[in-house]
Amino acid sequence: MKRSFILASLTSLLLFLIFPLFSLWPLAFVSLVPLYFSIEILSLRKTFLVAWLSGFFFFCGLLHWIVFNPAVESWVRPLLYLGVMLIAAYLSLFLAVSFALAKWLGGRLNIPFWWVAPFGLVLFDFLRSHGLLGFPWGSLGYSLARWTSAIQMASFTGVYGVTFWIVLMNGLIYRLIKYFIANRPFRLTPPIFLRISFVLLVFAMPPLIGQLMLSPVKKEMSNAPLLNISLIQGNIQQGFRWDQEFREYNWRTYDSLSRQAVKQPVDLLVWPETALPFYLRYEPDYYLRALSLANDLKSSILTGVPDFSYEPNQQRQLYYNSAFLIRPIYGLTSSYAKSHLVPFGERFPYKDKIPFIRNVNFGEGEWTPGADSIIFEMGGINFSCMICFESIFPEIARKQVSKGARFLVNITNDGWFGRSGAARQHAEMAVFRAVEQRRAIARCANSGISMFILPTGEIIKPTPLYKQMIITNAIPLLNNRTFYQKYGDLFVLLILIASIFPLMALLVKSLPFNLPKSFLPRKHRVFGRVNS
């Protein structure tokens, strides 16, 4: 077991390195190989334990940034370390179950477990990405966000197809290494040549096909209408943003930067999540100043703001993390309240039902989820807004595009987490939304990383962290619908079907041994015993 734990820990380290801060993404294709060697002769129970430990150490490292939140009370901070471990323990369960299931099913079907592993990992990745606690952070496919040609398959399969490919490559490389070890000394015989060629072919196909897919997309982009957008990265210090005394400073920062941005024609100015940390709808002075600014600049303004409404049935106010669109002359034309809140960050699930933590401030907000996605309309051009980590959920972007969005905006504030890997991890996940939907994305963050993402997944003008910046770019407005946009996670459904069939075959095969004799036809009974 000592050898297995060492190898599993090596997988934890490799998985940590393929994501930001380090972004050593080529290691993704060998990151699971040590884990494969560690579990190859283990029982199911030990396989589960080793895979769980490997995932636990990986997620603890990946989510290290959670403890940087400056909003928590000092005595609560040690609890954040416990929180990271609890989240890591939870997420690791999906990894452990997928590998234990791969070992079990592979053994029953008499096929190598590494052939089964890609199916199991994709299914359990999908499961952990949905529901109230859905959190797809660390899905292997996201590690390749910078390899543009390789991720084009996402327009058909979503990020799950890229994850499947990575896990499959790990299995093939593991098997190749095993073959080399069993056939030492190494000689380039025809069987070895064929094995190496097959592995290289599986590795090369997605980027080569992706390169072919890029050509028509780029041609469409060159013929598409353009929209000029400026992203205003105000870099307001976290502690000042909610301070009443700095409200005017906050306003003047965005006012000044916006006036600088329109030295060239700009159709839309985008300010980040809660750029104006007060209730603009109910602040007539600041609302009129925002409208005046839009009129002066002849540009629409999309800004993040808090909002609230009164709920008469519950006799209380409901608070929302919102985005307002302010157009010249028209003023506030539409708003969107964030519908998918960050669990434990913007809302503590079931906190009001747990007495001993009901009144503890863990640094989370008390927002209310808004209604469904809405479409902003600006001079005949439709678009939608994803607030903060809504960009990590493909179903949200898909729904917005299905309603007619020609481009997407992502406003966020990642300034809570210092110079950790959080900002880059978050930003790179949005790349997949652009590829899946073939829509340009304008991403505006308070302290970085702001950037434009083309429908190909290419990142344009990324900003550094903690620097006041203005970036402007003309984005193409595409109107086509991808396979993924039309059919969603059909790839995952096919993976599920492909997994269910062998399970059903095993179940049917075992039925005569498990059912009571009275349930069996007479021909299956021989001298009072079940005839197999």
In sequence order, which residues have a C-beta less than 8 Å from that of residue 268 and are 6 or more positions away? 227, 228, 229, 230, 299, 300, 301, 302, 378, 442
Tokens coding 433: 């939304």
Return the residue matching tokens 């434990």: 344
Catalytic annotation, pick one of 103, 364, 385, 388: 388
Asked whether the beta carbons of 475 and 227 are under 8 A apart, the reply is: yes
Selecting among 60, 103, 338, 436, the annotated active-site residue is 338
Compute CA 528 distance to the chain's CA centroid, rounded to the nearest angstrom: 58
Supply 48's token pair: 């589960």
**Catalytic pick from 273, 346, 390, 428?**
273
Q: Identify the DSSP state of 368.
A: -
Known catalytic membership, residue 273: yes
Detail the DSSP E strand segments found in 354-421.
Answer: 376-378, 381-387, 407-412
Q: Which residues of 303-327 are buried (b: 16+ CB within 10 A; e: fewer)?
A: bbbbbbeeeeeeeeebbbbbbbbbb
Rounded Cα gap, residues 508 and 502, in angstroms: 10
Rg (CA), the chain: 26
What letter does residue 186 receive in the DSSP assignment?
P
CB contact at 8 A, 268 and 227: yes
**DSSP secondary structure code for residue 153 in this structure:** G
Position 106: which residue type? G
Query: Is 509 designated active site?
Result: no
Tell the residue number behind the tokens 């993976």, with chain if given: 495
Respond yes or no: is residue 338 known to be catalytic: yes
Omega of the bond leading into 302 within 30 degrees of 0 (cis): no
Residues designated as active site: 273, 338, 388
